[in-house]
Chains A and B, each alone.
Chain A
Amino acid sequence: MQINTENNQTALRNLEIATGETISDCYQCGKCTAGCPASMDPSPSLLIHLLKLGLFNQAISAESVWDCMSCLTCSERCPKNVNPAAIIEGLKRIHLNNMDSEINLHSLGQEFLAHSTQQAVVSGFRKFV
């Protein structure tokens, strides 16, 4: 996924193609946010609202995308069949493609890694690096 974020409309369209989602389907009921355990701020529905308003740069610079843990509660409950978790992952990937990784693996420390499950480390690589 390589998305040029300079033109909002093109960027939005490309995000939709990459994620397979239709952002305009969201009718802002807030059900995704109500069930989100990550207390994201901006919330998943607000992130989608920003995208709908064409405020693409505001959405991708939101720190809260990194709080999402892909639990899929939002996606499972959305009455409009939107997949907020996928949209958020799309936003994360735009970041990771353009910038440094979100976690510094060296700073995690040997002891922390020794106690971690392999699946957490691998997922960490997939989502934050």
Chain B
Amino acid sequence: MPEKMTHIPYYPGCTLKSKALGYERSAKDCARVIGFEMHDIEKWNCCGASFPLTKDNLMGLAAPTNILVEAEQHCTERKIDAQLITLCSFCYNTLKRTDFAFKEDPGKLKTLNEFLDRKYHGNVKVTHYLEYLRDVIGFDNLSKMVKTDLSHLRVAPYYGCLLLKPEKELGLDDPEEPVILHDFLDALGCQVVDFPGQVDCCGAYLIMRNPDKVLELSHKILDEAAEYGAQTLVTACPLCQSNLDQSEVVRGEMPILYFTQLLAIALGLETEHHQFDTHCVDPKSIVASCQKFKECANAK
């Protein structure tokens, strides 16, 4: 266990506190082992989930701006660098794009500050958990912390849309040929299944209007992953997880995991409260197939 934990302000968002609790718990547990502690910012509201695409829609920026103000205050009070870590792709996209919109057009920031009667200074660096692992911890270092043999496991990395697009504003990775999840899985020691559907849309919020279309799109992604030999698929987005998982009930038996759930297994953590049992397709067999190195015949 590292001696001193780095304090990282964290924005959970609505889904992480309800349907995707297993995602949050596994992420927080892993962070503690890796050497940082995620602290929920004191007051937070829903970010609005979808970033408003029309430029004149300033109302849609009010909710994320409030969050950025809270994050900035949280960091100022503690005299730490202004940053905010997120897990959900939608929250990440909305918060980072809001901050970008202000950098691009300071007039918008002025309007929002006046409207909210608060002051956002534009200093918060919005970071995705994956990005933190890659850029601050380093995947090389992460691989040294792995305690479980995953070498038998064929895992498909699934990115979806909002973690990567628009590239100009998010700058996390290439939106067409991303590697961050590939490299993450590589660091955990599993077999990475590179498949064409990795950046295709699962249907997202269309689930509210046309669930059949969402199931069709998700089905196609999973068919491809299976064709390329995946046993399981990892994602960073609760809506992707939910859409793919529900589609899988009809299609096959591939468990859909959050990347942090697999990370928890890799780090040899107790995964009991990571809510694997709330997934439609039970990942029990995958979890059971992973054994700690010392328990293997060829222990390292």
Contact = CB atoms under 8 A, between A and B. Distances in A.
A36 B187 CA distance: 33
Contacts of B60: 126
Given A20-B56, A120-B204, 14 more contacts: A37-B201, A37-B217, A67-B213, A73-B161, A75-B166, A76-B167, A115-B242, A117-B238, A119-B15, A119-B90, A122-B46, A124-B205, A124-B208, A126-B49
A16 to B, nearest CB: 10
B239 interface: yes
Contact of A18 (B20, B55, B242, B246): B55
Contact of A117 (B20, B48, B210): B20
A103 B209 contact: yes
Contacts of A76: 165-167, 175-176
A44 interface: no
B206 interface: yes
B200 interface: yes
23 contacts: A18-B56, A19-B55, A19-B56, A37-B200, A37-B217, A70-B50, A71-B161, A71-B201, A71-B204, A73-B201, A75-B166, A86-B55, A90-B53, A93-B54, A115-B242, A118-B19, A119-B14, A120-B242, A122-B49, A124-B205, A126-B50, A127-B50, A128-B209
Contacts of B64: none
Interface string A95-127: 000000011000010000001111111111011
A70 B209 contact: no
Interface string B52-63: 111111001000
User: Would you call the interface of chain A mostly helix, strand, loop, or mixed?
Assistant: helix
B18 interface: yes
A19 B209 contact: no
A123 to B, nearest CB: 4
Contacts, number: 128
B88 A119 contact: yes
A57 to B, nearest CB: 19
B209 A73 contact: no
A83 B204 CA distance: 19
B53 to A, nearest CB: 4
Contacts of A103: 208-209
A70 B53 contact: yes
Nearest to B214: A69
A19 B53 CA distance: 7
B67 to A, nearest CB: 14
Nearest to A124: B208
Contact of B50 (A17, A38, A90, A123): A123
B54 A67 contact: no
Contact of A122 (B14, B54, B206): B14
Given A72-B161, A126-B60, A67 B206 contact: yes
Nearest to B217: A37
A108 B53 contact: no
B207 A102 contact: no
A37 B46 CA distance: 28
A108 B205 CA distance: 14
A69 B15 CA distance: 19
A90 B168 CA distance: 21
A29 interface: no
A120 B207 contact: yes
